[in-house]
Amino acid sequence: MNNKSSPEGFILLAFSDHPRLEKTLFVVVLTSYLMTLVCNTLIILLSILDSKLHTPMYFFISNLSFLDLCFTTSSVPQLLSNLWGPEKTISFTGCAIQLFVFLALGATECVLLSVMALDRYVAICRPLHYALIMHPHLTQRLAIVAWVIGLLESVVQTPPTLRLPFCSHRRVDDFLCEVPALIRLSCEDTTYNEIQLAVGSVLLLVVPLTLILVSYGAIGHTVLKIKSAEGRKKAFGTCSSHLLVVSFFYSSVITVYLQPKNPYAQDRGKFFGLFYAVGTPALNPLIYTLRNKEVKGAFRRLLVKIQPPGKS
């Protein structure tokens, strides 16, 4: 028996097959979520309040921070509820909203990271023309393009996924409503959805990652031409944070969306999915602040401004 509309919603199995692990994961996820909220909000405030951070790079970083705030909030509250108690259900409407938002934001981040690689390419390979090329109008348009592409991807991918004839048990072998998990839940032929997912994965994972690798190939070629070791170190320092963010995000997302069909890969995919949904949004601001003197300097200046008079 199939349930085409699934009005009763779904059961998110998440990590229910590891009951002892759930309480530990609850603490880890809650801690990561709080770090995500505090650190990303701080980066957005610093980018707005400190004039020294009114540059294209920090404009894109603040966009990434806002995206990460929305990204985690679309899934983590539901995940925490599932990890804490026996109730693991989500309504069909809640699942549809979660799927749409999570997919849109994930696709946006893929494009935004490639845009940030372009920014680093211009900064290192065309430094004399950086201000002319990366002017505010272009950076705003690039950010808008990233958000629009993410929205379009979700508009295209979400309806066919939700129209699938789902099996009556309604058990989603994941911690959130995500396209691969919902496709696996269908009891009928999903060839069209799998082809659509494959095309979307190529366009929004493989293509942006290829552009990032090409950009950093050109950056590496330029850096090797710099004669002084100090110059090479400085040039690499401007890219290292972004490279770390790209490595963490893409390695986990590719594992989830381009994994083979077998139980081991699916179980592994849940943990990698948890990492890119919860871990990377918490790590991103730490990477950009701990490795960035400008952000740390902006934070110190903010503390000086809010310090009560008479205290040094």
Q: How far apart are the first and last CA of the chain?
A: 72
Residue 69 pLDDT > 90: yes
Residue 167 phi, psi dihedral angles, 5° rounding: -65, 150
Residue 6 pLDDT > 70: no
Residue 67 pLDDT > 60: yes
Residue 83 pLDDT > 80: yes
Res 236: pLDDT: 78
Cα distances (Å, whole numbers) of residue 241 to 29, 34, 201, 210: 23, 22, 25, 18
Delimit the domains of the chain by residue range: 2-306
Taking residues 62-78, report their average pLDDT. Answer: 92
Q: Decide if domain 2-306 falls under CATH 1.20.1070.10.
A: yes
Residue 287 pLDDT > 60: yes
Residue 33 pLDDT > 70: yes
Res 1: pLDDT: 40
Q: Mean pLDDT, the chain, as a whole number?
A: 85
Q: Is 134 helix (H, G, I), strand (E, B) or coil?
A: coil
Res 118: pLDDT: 94
Question: What digits encode the pLDDT tens for the residues 245-281?
Answer: 999 898 888 887 776 565 555 666 777 888 888 889 9
**Most confident stretch, 3-7, 79-83, 147-151:** 147-151
Which pTM value belongs to this model?
0.88
- Count of CB atoms within 10 A of residue 149's CB? 19
Contact, 111 vs 205, CB < 8 A?
no
- Count of CB atoms within 10 A of residue 274's CB? 24
Q: Token pair for residue 103?
A: 């997919």
Question: What digits encode the pLDDT tens for the residues 172-229?
Answer: 888 888 888 898 888 888 889 889 988 988 899 899 999 999 999 999 888 888 888 7
Q: Provide, rounded to the nearest whole percent, the portion of the chain with pLDDT above 70.
A: 91
Taking residues 22-39, report their average pLDDT. Answer: 91
Q: How confident is the model at residue 150 (pLDDT cuts 50, 70, 90)?
A: very high
